[in-house]
Amino acid sequence: MSLCVIFTLSKYIYNPSFVHNNLKKIGSELNPNVSVDCVIFGFDLEKLTVLVIDRGEISAENGPRLALPGNLIYDNENLDQAASRVLDELTGLKDIYLEQVGAFGDPFRIHKESDREWLKSIRAQPDARVITVAYFSLVKIEDYQPHPSSFAKNAEWTPVNDITELAFDHFEILQAAKEKLKQKIKIQPIGFNLLPEKFTLSQLHRLYESILDKPLDKRNFRRKIQKLNILSNLKEKQRGVPHKPSSLYEFNEEKYQELTQMGFDNFGF
């Protein structure tokens, strides 16, 4: 049963011929030595989450069940394209915010027997030295809800802070991605990629707190974010909440473009 799951999953995400046939990458070869892995962040309006793959019970030793989605690259695609492809294959989403985190891959990164076994089931050359280029991406959690019936049923949104181990060196990659996101959000308002089109200031506030992993003063946060002038106040309120309803806002791309062209240093968080 668990083998079956792995097979189905790997067929969807990892199997070269599947992708080959479906994306019509005729004439291109999988490069045995270079892969991409994606740290796909979401935000459930409470906590920062990551989309991880449950590999099932893959060995007697019970190594970590969870892994980041990833795959070898094709020789005719660039790294960004490979990352987009992995994301698309898993979620069906296109045009998603993606940013490179960096390259990883010790020669001996596969020290868990469970990882070795898994590779045998999904790679033509399971023993090849692989270096992996990590990306993080920001997805509106509403845009992708794993369906229990789909091939990718083993993908799940998991709160970042609940994750304590991952396959291979994926935990290290996750930490690096969190750190990169933390730095990046101080400089650019990329957080909007994680929120619905319409959102409240409190949601934005919680998002910043989750990413920066520290409490931010409510009044100071609101003042600061509003001073940036990149929010439009839709004249619309929440409905059906058991407390004073909040105004809804949306991110204003044009105002942001003005700002960046004039060049501003940071968001000061």
Partner DNA sequence: CCAAAAGTGTTGAAGTTACACCCATGC
Partner DNA sequence: GCATGGGTGTAACTTCAACACTTTTGG
**Residues of the shown chain interacting with a second copy in the complex, contacts defined by CB under 8 A:** 31-34, 73, 75-79, 100, 102-107, 129, 131, 133
User: Which of the choices a second copy, DNA, none does residue 8 contact, using the CB cut-off of 5 to 8 A by kind?
Assistant: none
User: Which of the choices a second copy, DNA, none does residue 30 contact, using the CB cut-off of 5 to 8 A by kind?
Assistant: none
Q: Which of 256, 250, 221 is nearest to 235 (CA)?
A: 250
Angle CA 34–37–38, to nearest 5: 150
Q: What are phi and psi for residue 56, nearest 5 degrees?
A: 75, -170
Minimum gap (Å) between residue 215 Cβ and DNA: 9
Q: Coil, strand or helix: which one is 146?
A: coil
Q: Which is nearer to a second copy, 103 or 234 (CB)?
A: 103
Q: Which is nearer to DNA, 111 or 237 (CB)?
A: 237
Q: Which is nearer to DNA, 135 or 221 (CB)?
A: 221
User: Which of the choices DNA, a second copy, none does residue 200 contact, using the CB cut-off of 5 to 8 A by kind?
Assistant: DNA
Q: Coil, strand or helix: which one is 141?
A: helix
Minimum gap (Å) between residue 223 Cβ and DNA: 7
Minimum gap (Å) between residue 81 Cβ and a second copy: 9
Minimum gap (Å) between residue 147 Cβ and DNA: 29
Q: Which is nearer to DNA, 242 or 263 (CB)?
A: 242
d(CA 95, CA 80): 11
User: Which of the choices DNA, a second copy, none does residue 268 contact, using the CB cut-off of 5 to 8 A by kind?
Assistant: DNA
Give the pairing of strands 30-43 and 247-251.
Answer: unpaired
Residues in contact with DNA by CB under 7 A are 200-202, 217-220, 222-224, 237, 239-247, 268
Minimum gap (Å) between residue 130 Cβ and a second copy: 9
User: Which of the choices DNA, a second copy, none does residue 105 contact, using the CB cut-off of 5 to 8 A by kind?
Assistant: a second copy
d(CA 56, CA 76): 32
% helix / strand / coil in the chain, to the nearest 5? Answer: 40, 25, 40
Q: Three-state SS string across 66-97, please?
A: EECCEEEEECCCCHHHHHHHHHHHHHCCCCCE
Minimum gap (Å) between residue 115 Cβ and DNA: 41
Q: Coil, strand or helix: which one is 220?
A: helix
